[in-house]
């Protein structure tokens, strides 16, 4: 034996000298530094997760400090030493332990505490998360790891899954403060799920984190639902009930057949779901208030939720949903990408909703089949609120390849839809016969807001501003044509309607064919003359002169101002109401500029002001102003003095007696056709000295009696 080795062994056996030269035994050293010191020592020896041991010399000098054992040997140890570190060498369970003489009660959990037959407790020395394989999980894709994973979660709050495939056969439940994490290659899955159980669940817990895992349900087994042709599968991949402070991030979820969603959250508050990829399932990320008690950490309803920067693809139903009741509140859906959700990309019934910066692509040319057995129809609804919502802000979203509605909101109150981009899908792939077919369906509206008899709050302020809407559907014959912005009040409540204050402003609307570009309608039973509507600054264009640009009726105030309308059959159509103010609109390439849809003397327009610019003639046989009724007293008060006509035949201007006091500039003769009211004037284009300024209607009629006025001195 070399002299230096003899000195080393003597030091190990006798101890170390302190600063005063006294010997200190190894037992006293470890005892004095405690568990924290043991962690440091273990880290020095092995690294945080257990690494390479210091190499012992031929005489095993280091063996006096650290002994290599198996788990079975440690459990069989009858005489543990407090001054020794035991290194477990079992594959995937490697690590260093120390004997904790003060612990007489902890249970053996295989991973971080081992108990010997003599009752000695050995604690693993580590920092950071505990590895799920320490607790017996194999991760080989075949072994049932359910018990081992549950044991790990029950034993330690922070569990790490290395890149492996962990097969489970039953529920795994998270605990308070649970954090489970891994890599996108750390897969937790079920191969069969005959009882339809959830894979991972948390109930009535606080501080839950699921990070960077691959969680996969069962594909193609079990009963199809809700009808044949829908994605089949069983179980919810992640279910969270009655919890508070929940983070679900960076994970991959797939194959979930039941209606609740890959990520299903019920009666929880303070939840963040971010940067996940969810695909090929019935529903994606879903929240509701159906399950769980009210006296839980999560409270009575979904509250304070952020769903951000997720990708959700190929859903048989809904991609992101808060929609089974309207008790949800403080919801933010931001920066997500949704592709090919059969029913709805985003569905929300809630109070306090922000939906900003999402990209919705409804095209479904592959993947799973949609609801109702129809295959590969594009997304029905980009955004859907089908019960009730209040204080909703939709901004800077892209809705493309939409089948029916870009936005559909029923009984919404205080809603803003701003800076979004919308386009309809034109075709779809029928997977039954692999044919590409055109899409022309009835009741398609790009933005649809409706209030029915179930509305329990007033609309209050509705703002639809600066959106871009494109419709390239071009149906032939009698095929249905899309509406683009539709507002419909069938609440039959004068009180609710009276408190509505609606702005449709600065939108860019282009459609090959239009039924109605912007429409506000009430039921026949609704009291007229209530509510205020401002339609201003919009650009509406169609190349084929179809449909109506703006239709509104039964309002207390209707302001249609500063719009540019080009290529529409009817530019403005209105029914009964109070004040109708049309000003600074520019209308060209039209069949009829104004159509007054009133049918008898009891349905009147109280006040009509028209101050627009009309360019070009209407269609042959039509007029700039026309309507159902030609009686001169249908409008109590009207004024058209501010009109401008450019290249318009004076005989094609008035198909109605209103507006009164209409002034037509730049013609050389009185009208010979049309319905003119007393006070209407036509100014002469080529005035001469000794002549007159124009003609004025002195007797109502078709065309009425006209007299020269405004003598010009010679």
Question: By mean pLDDT, which of 8-17, 406-415, 420-429, 639-648 is the weakest?
Answer: 8-17
Instruction: Determine, yes or no, domain membership for 533.
Output: no
Domain boundary among 63, 93, 127: 127
Q: Which residue range(s) make up the domain with 657? A: 626-714
Instruction: Determine, yes or no, domain membership for 235.
Output: no
The pLDDT confidence band at residue 414, using thresholds 50, 70 and 90, is very high
Tokens representing residue 313 in the block: 């693809």
Cα 313 from Cα 633, distance rounded (Å): 59
Cα 204 from Cα 45, distance rounded (Å): 41
The dihedral through the CA atoms of 52, 53, 55, 60 has a sign that is negative
Q: What is the number of residues in the chain?
A: 714
- At 4 the pLDDT is 38
Instruction: Determine, yes or no, domain membership for 241.
Output: no
Instruction: Determine, yes or no, domain membership for 97.
Output: yes
In the predicted model, is pLDDT for residue 476 greater than 80?
A: no
In the predicted model, is pLDDT for residue 54 greater than 60?
A: no
User: Greater confidence, 414 or 261?
Assistant: 414
Phi and psi based region of residue 625 (left: phi greater than 0; alpha: psi -120 to 50; beta: remaining): beta
In the predicted model, is pLDDT for residue 178 greater than 70?
A: yes
The pLDDT confidence band at residue 709, using thresholds 50, 70 and 90, is very high
Consecutive H or E run containing 489: strand 483-489
- At 600 the pLDDT is 72
Instruction: Determine, yes or no, domain membership for 41.
Output: yes
- At 226 the pLDDT is 33
User: Greater confidence, 483 or 674?
Assistant: 674
Instruction: Determine, yes or no, domain membership for 66.
Output: yes
- At 294 the pLDDT is 78
Q: For 125-159, write each residue's pLDDT tens digit.
A: 999 999 999 999 999 999 999 999 999 999 999 99
Give one DSSP letter per residue of 131-197, joined into a string.
EGGGGT---EEEEE-HHHHHHHHHH-SEEE--SSEEE-SS-EE--TT-EEE--TT-EEE-S--TT--
Cα 556 from Cα 595, distance rounded (Å): 19
Give percent of the chain above pLDDT 90: 64
- At 291 the pLDDT is 75
- At 23 the pLDDT is 40
Cα 79 from Cα 538, distance rounded (Å): 87
The CA-based dihedral angle spanning residues 666, 671, 672, 675, taken in that order and rounded to the nearest 10 degrees? 140
Q: Which residues pair with 131 in a beta bridge?
A: 160
- At 714 the pLDDT is 82
Cα 431 from Cα 328, distance rounded (Å): 37
Consecutive H or E run containing 308: strand 303-308
- At 64 the pLDDT is 61
State which of 43-57, 81-95, 362-376, 627-641 shows the largest mean pLDDT.
81-95
Own/partner pairs, 142-147, CB within 8 angstroms, 24+ separation: 142/167, 143/167, 144/168, 144/169, 146/170, 146/172
In the predicted model, is pLDDT for residue 50 greater than 80?
A: no
In the predicted model, is pLDDT for residue 26 greater than 90?
A: no
User: Greater confidence, 315 or 136?
Assistant: 136
In the predicted model, is pLDDT for residue 224 greater than 70?
A: no
Q: Choose among 533, 441, 438: nearest CA to 487.
A: 533
Residue pair 704/681 in contact (Cβ under 8 Å)? The answer is no
Rounded to an integer, the average pLDDT of 247-253 is 98
The pLDDT confidence band at residue 44, using thresholds 50, 70 and 90, is very low
Chain-centre distance for alpha carbon 487? 21
- At 427 the pLDDT is 86
CA Rg value for the chain: 38
- At 8 the pLDDT is 32
Q: For 278-314, write each residue's pLDDT tens digit.
A: 998 888 999 998 876 778 899 999 999 999 999 999 8
Domain boundary among 127, 142, 171: 127
Cis peptide before 12 (omega within 30 of 0): no
In the predicted model, is pLDDT for residue 549 greater than 60?
A: yes
- At 528 the pLDDT is 63
Q: For 320-348, write each residue's pLDDT tens digit.
A: 999 888 889 999 999 999 998 989 999 99
Rounded to an integer, the average pLDDT of 571-593 is 96
In the predicted model, is pLDDT for residue 218 greater than 90?
A: no
Compute the mean pLDDT over every residue in the chain, rounded to the nearest whole number: 86
In the predicted model, is pLDDT for residue 498 greater than 90?
A: no
Domain boundary among 99, 127, 155: 127
Tokens representing residue 651 in the block: 């005989």
- At 365 the pLDDT is 66
Instruction: Determine, yes or no, domain membership for 664.
Output: yes
- At 316 the pLDDT is 82
In the predicted model, is pLDDT for residue 19 greater than 80?
A: no
Q: Choose among 572, 538, 578: nearest CA to 554.
A: 578
Q: Are strands 548-552 and 516-522 parallel, antiparallel or unpaired?
A: parallel
Kindly state the DSSP code that residue 202 receives in the 8-state scheme: E
User: Greater confidence, 641 or 106?
Assistant: 106
Cα 530 from Cα 99, distance rounded (Å): 82
The pLDDT confidence band at residue 13, using thresholds 50, 70 and 90, is very low
Instruction: Determine, yes or no, domain membership for 178.
Output: no
The dihedral through the CA atoms of 622, 623, 625, 631 has a sign that is negative
Question: By mean pLDDT, which of 54-58, 226-230, 452-456, 509-513 is the weakest?
Answer: 226-230
In the predicted model, is pLDDT for residue 48 greater than 50?
A: no
Cα 292 from Cα 302, distance rounded (Å): 12
Cα 644 from Cα 487, distance rounded (Å): 30
- At 406 the pLDDT is 97
Q: Choose among 251, 330, 329, 234: nearest CA to 285.
A: 251
Cα 500 from Cα 661, distance rounded (Å): 32
In the predicted model, is pLDDT for residue 113 greater than 90?
A: yes
- At 193 the pLDDT is 80
- At 435 the pLDDT is 79
Rounded to an integer, the average pLDDT of 44-61 is 45
Q: For 596-608, write each residue's pLDDT tens digit.
A: 988 776 668 899 9
In the predicted model, is pLDDT for residue 681 greater than 70?
A: yes
Question: By mean pLDDT, which of 58-72, 103-117, 619-633 is the weakest?
Answer: 58-72
- At 228 the pLDDT is 32
The CA-based dihedral angle spanning residues 325, 326, 329, 334, taken in that order and rounded to the nearest 10 degrees? 80
Rounded to an integer, the average pLDDT of 623-642 is 87
Based on the structure, what is the number of domains in the chain? 2
In the predicted model, is pLDDT for residue 75 greater than 70?
A: yes
| Total Cβ atoms within 10 A of residue 250 | 17
Greatest C-alpha distance within the chain: 140
In the predicted model, is pLDDT for residue 47 greater than 50?
A: no
In the predicted model, is pLDDT for residue 32 greater than 50?
A: no
The pLDDT confidence band at residue 369, using thresholds 50, 70 and 90, is very low
Beta-strand ranges (E) seen in 13-84 are 16-17, 23-24, 66-69
């Amino acid at each position: 034996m070399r002299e230096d080795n003899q000195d080393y062994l003597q030091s190990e056996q006798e101890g170390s000298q302190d600063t005063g030269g006294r010997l200190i035994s190894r037992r006293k050293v470890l005892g004095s530094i405690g568990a924290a010191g043991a962690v440091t020592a273990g880290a020095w020896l092995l690294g945080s997760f257990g690494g390479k041991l210091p190499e012992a010399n031929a005489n095993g000098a280091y063996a006096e400090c650290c002994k290599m054992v198996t788990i079975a040997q440690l459990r069989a140890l009858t005489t543990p030493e407090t001054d020794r570190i035991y290194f477990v060498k079992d594959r995937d369970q490697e690590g260093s332990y120390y004997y904790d003489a003060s612990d007489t009660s902890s249970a053996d959990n295989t991973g971080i505490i081992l108990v010997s037959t003599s009752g000695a407790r050995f604690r693993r020395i580590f920092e950071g998360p505990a590895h799920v394989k320490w607790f017996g999980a194999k991760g080989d894709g075949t072994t049932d790891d359910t018990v081992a994973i549950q044991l790990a979660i029950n034993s330690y709050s922070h569990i790490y899954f290395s890149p492996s495939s962990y097969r489970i056969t039953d529920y795994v439940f998270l605990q308070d403060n649970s954090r489970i994490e891994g890599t996108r290659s750390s897969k937790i899955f079920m191969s069969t799920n005959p009882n339809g159980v959830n894979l991972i669940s948390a109930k009535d817990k606080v501080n839950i984190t699921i990070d960077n895992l691959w969680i996969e349900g069962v594909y193609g087994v079990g009963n199809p639902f809700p009808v044949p042709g829908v994605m089949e599968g069983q179980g919810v991949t992640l279910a969270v009930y009655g919890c508070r402070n929940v983070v679900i991030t960076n994970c991959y979820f797939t194959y979930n057949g039941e209606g609740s969603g890959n990520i299903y959250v019920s009666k929880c508050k303070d939840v963040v779901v971010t940067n996940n990829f969810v695909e090929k399932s019935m529903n994606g990320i879903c929240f509701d208030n159906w399950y769980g008690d009210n006296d839980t950490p999560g409270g009575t309803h979904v509250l304070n939720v952020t769903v951000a920067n997720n990708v959700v693809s190929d859903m048989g139903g809904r991609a992101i949903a808060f929609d089974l009741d309207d008790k949800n509140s403080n919801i933010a859906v931001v920066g997500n990408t949704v592709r090919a959700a059969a029913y709805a990309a985003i569905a929300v019934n809630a109070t306090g909703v922000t939906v900003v910066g999402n990209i919705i692509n409804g095209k479904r040319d592959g993947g799973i089949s949609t609801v109702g057995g129809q295959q590969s129809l594009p997304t029905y609804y980009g955004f859907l609120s089908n019960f009730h919502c209040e204080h909703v802000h939709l901004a800077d979203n892209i809705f493309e390849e939409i089948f029916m509605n870009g936005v559909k909101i029923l009984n919404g109150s205080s809603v803003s839809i701003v800076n979004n981009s919308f386009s309809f899908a034109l075709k779809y792939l029928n997977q039954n016969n692999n044919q590409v077919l055109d899409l022309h369906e009835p009741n398609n509206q790009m933005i649809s807001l409706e209030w029915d008899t179930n509305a329990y709050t007033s609309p209050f302020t509705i703002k639809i501003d600066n959106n871009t809407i494109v419709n390239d559907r071009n149906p032939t014959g009698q095929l249905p044509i899309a509406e683009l912005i539709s507002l419909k009040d069938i609440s039959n409540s004068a009180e609710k309607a009276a408190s509505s204050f609606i702005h449709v402003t600065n939108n860019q609307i282009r459609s090959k064919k239009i039924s109605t570009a912007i429409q506000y309608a009430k039921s026949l039973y609704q009291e007229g003359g209530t509510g205020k509507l401002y339609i201003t600054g919009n650009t509406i264009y169609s190349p084929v002169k179809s449909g109506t640009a703006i239709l509104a009726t039964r309002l207390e105030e209707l302001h249609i101002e500063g719009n540019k309308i080009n290529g529409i059959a009817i530019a403005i159509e209105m029914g009964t109401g109070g004040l109708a103010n049309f000003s600074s609109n520019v209308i060209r390439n039209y069949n009829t500029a104004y159509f007054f849809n009133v049918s008898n003397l009891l349905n009147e327009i109280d006040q009509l002001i028209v101050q627009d610019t009309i360019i070009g003639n209407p269609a042959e046989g039509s007029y700039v102003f026309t309507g159902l009724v030609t009686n001169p007293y249908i409008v109590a008060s009207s004024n058209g003095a501010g009109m401008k006509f450019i290249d318009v035949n004076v005989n094609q201007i008035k198909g109605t007696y209103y507006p009164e006091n209409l002034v037509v500039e730049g013609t050389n003769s009185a009208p010979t056709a049309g319905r003119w009211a007393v006070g209407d004037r036509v100014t002469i284009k080529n005035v001469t000295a000794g002549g007159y300024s124009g003609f004025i209607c002195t007797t109502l009629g078709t065309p009425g009696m006209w007299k020269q006025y405004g003598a010009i001195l010679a």
